[in-house]
Chains A and B, each alone.
Chain A
Amino acid sequence: MIPKLKKNNKHKDTILIALSNDNKKYEINCHENNGLFINKKKMDFIIENNEDGFTYIIWKNKKFPVEILEKKQNKYVVIINGLCYSFSIETPLSYKRKKFLDKSKIEDKVEAVFAPMPGKIIDVLVEPNALIKDGDPILILEAMKMQNEIISNISGKIININVKKDDTVMKDAVLIEIIK
């Protein structure tokens, strides 16, 4: 006995919501017969896998080179025309839930300053338990032979310094943690 593949033709509509990291909402409706709607507007895209090795979306007679840079479950980073956009893909249900959770979430008290670029720590200018203000320099990071003053964008008390002099850090590494 060979089991048959289950065909998924129950739903003629697939509605999903792509939520960008700056909270822009794109409701994408792929209707089996009527085509594609984005935010209720009918769209007509051509996706072309060109023999030059690039994938393009063709839209309004313009070619947009596009690739997926990262994906993790429903989290996507897409690079289009050389720029990055991050989205989480939600079903109408998970989107509602997410909005509800966001509203009821108590503001996180601990925040972190991240490394804006990869590099080497030249000097740490602050000490644990020190009080700092938004705009205060916290350390000096050397990247590509330039020394950059890394400035805190948070005011509060330093509870953790995760780096020391001469450490090498990657982009987005947590440098210090601050309690508001």
Chain B
Amino acid sequence: MKINSILIANRGEIAVRIIQTAKKLGIMSFVIKTPKEPNAMYLKMADAVCDFTGNSEGIPEFLDIERIIETAKKYNIDAIHPGYGFLAENPYFAQRCEDEKKIFIGPSADSIYKMGNKTIARQLAAKLKIPLIEGSRGNVPTVADALKEAEKIGYPVILKAASGGGGRGMRIVTKPQDMEKLFNLASAEAEKAFNDATLFLEKYIKNPRHIEFQIIGDKHGNIVHLGERECSIQRKHQKLIEESPSSALNGELRYLMGKEAVKLAKEVKYYSAGTVEFLLDEEKNFYFMEMNTRIQVEHPVTEEITGLDLIEQQIRIAQDKELDFKQKDIKLKGWAIEYRINAEDVQSNFAPYLGTIEKIIFPKGRNIRIDNGIEDGSVITPYFDSMIAKLIITGETREKAIANSVAAIKKFRIKGIKTTIPFCKAVIYNRDFRNGNINTSFIEKQLKKPYYEDPDEKMLAAYFATKDFISNEKLEEETFIDFNRGKVLSPWLMSTRLRN
């Protein structure tokens, strides 16, 4: 079935990203306007805007399944793209789309359900003999169960939300005394984030790398992988910098891991874009972690080195088309690194930084790609996550990509809010990062300071403040004060008064 129009059930940079591909393919794009950011950039770029600013009975707009489906029906929109987050991995939503004859741009509800439920995903992986980290067989419903399982596996262990992702509902437990407290925290967070408080437990692997494989499949049983992404630079399980390929993999390991990723995807008859996540330990043993059944934030690095447009592929596949390439056609060319620009205060523990972007200038160049959802005047609200843009830098080799990154990041300018740019600088100037010597505890262990500070900066800032203070003082001296009336008078007004 041909797709002529798409409703994008998302916002920010990913909405903009989908609009761009839709434009390229001649597909009409519809977006959703919320009262939380009625002037957002994605609204201006879409072909049509569906107004969700009216009453919503308290359900957040991008989670309001029935309202989204009603809208698609009302405007006769062919397909719905969920982006990432929100409803992207909600099997019920995918099913509702199918029931209402709206094309869900993503995998089947069944695949989302099986892979989205971490316990089922693990059981499937075990059945296929894909290496797994030792863990509880199934969920741990109570603290007592968790303690029993942890005793069997040995500490440290990690508690994870059965329906989780994005680092939420996760806690590392190093000793039994902490179990109750952390179990309750993880469970409450899981309930809140995924509407499912169930947890499972795993052996915690120290200093692993996070390596994930992008896979893509069609509805005719063809599945290929598009190489790996290294996402080891993360803070509290939130990825901050991603790259492709990974400096930890060679052709042989890539072949082995890619094969396992494809095997798992085939098991659930997976179609559309998906990601199989692995941990790679220091001895280069890899373990299946989870599968994400959506387009991911970091998909651009894969696009840059494979030359494919993954959103376009998703749309093609949703129209029942066959993949027009085979595994042997996939060649990884060059190196790409993505830097997430978040509105966060790196000097105060990465706390969200709210405010208005007064002015923003992105670097431009042959090796620079910007995926962006903001512009001058955009407001950073507390309602959505803090990522505002992504800087994707390429080069023929990793060294060149890093050199290009240094140059590009220096040219990035923003006024009005604080961002993670000083963090990105700290990472790219770090020797371990430059040598490719990274793992998921890089930020805590190898980065001395989570932001780069030029040695002269503070002195220059002191001077700038003082200079402003002096010019204000001068202004005051030049202004007459009428002490009787307590008002500031200009000399001109004063002269009229004296004349009278």
Contacts and interface: CB of A to CB of B under 8 A. Distances in A.
A80 interface: yes
A83 B386 CA distance: 17
A147 interface: yes
Interface stretch (A57-65, A102-110, A126-134): A57-65
A26 B382 contact: no
Contacts of B352: 117-118, 143-144
A112 interface: no
A66 B457 CA distance: 10
Interface string B405-419: 000000001110011
Chain B interface SS verdict (over half): helix
Interface string B484-500: 00000001001100110
A146 B190 CA distance: 10
B477 A89 contact: no
Interface residues of A, number: 60
A150 to B, nearest CB: 11
B152 interface: no
B474 A80 contact: no
B189 A146 contact: yes
Contacts of B480: 3
A16 B469 contact: yes
B351 A145 contact: no
A6 interface: yes
Given A76-B465, A117-B352, A26 B459 contact: yes
A8 B477 CA distance: 8
Contact of B460 (A59, A123, A145): A59
Contact of B415 (A54, A62, A142): A54
B469 A146 contact: no
Nearest to B423: A82
B415 A146 contact: no
A170 to B, nearest CB: 9
Given A68-B468, A84-B347, A78 B498 contact: no
Interface in A69-122: 71, 74, 76, 78-85, 87, 89, 116-119, 122
Given A53-B415, A84-B347, 10 more contacts: A14-B470, A24-B458, A54-B415, A78-B461, A116-B348, A117-B352, A119-B382, A143-B382, A147-B185, A147-B192
Interface of A: 1-3, 5-6, 8, 14, 16, 18, 20, 24, 26, 28, 30, 36, 38, 43, 45, 47, 52-54, 57, 59-60, 62, 64-68, 71, 74, 76, 78-85, 87, 89, 116-119, 122-123, 137, 140, 142-147, 149, 171
Interface of B: 167-168, 181, 185, 188-189, 192-193, 236, 345-349, 351-352, 354, 359, 361, 382, 385-386, 413-415, 418-419, 421-422, 451, 453-454, 456-470, 474, 477-478, 480, 491, 494-495, 498-499
29 contacts: A1-B495, A6-B478, A18-B462, A26-B466, A28-B466, A45-B460, A45-B463, A47-B464, A53-B359, A53-B415, A54-B415, A57-B463, A62-B454, A64-B456, A64-B460, A78-B462, A78-B465, A80-B457, A80-B461, A84-B418, A87-B461, A87-B465, A117-B348, A117-B351, A122-B192, A143-B352, A143-B382, A144-B386, A147-B188
Identify the 9 closest CB pairs spanning chains A and B, nearest first.
Answer: A117-B351, A76-B465, A18-B462, A26-B462, A78-B461, A85-B461, A89-B469, A147-B189, A28-B466
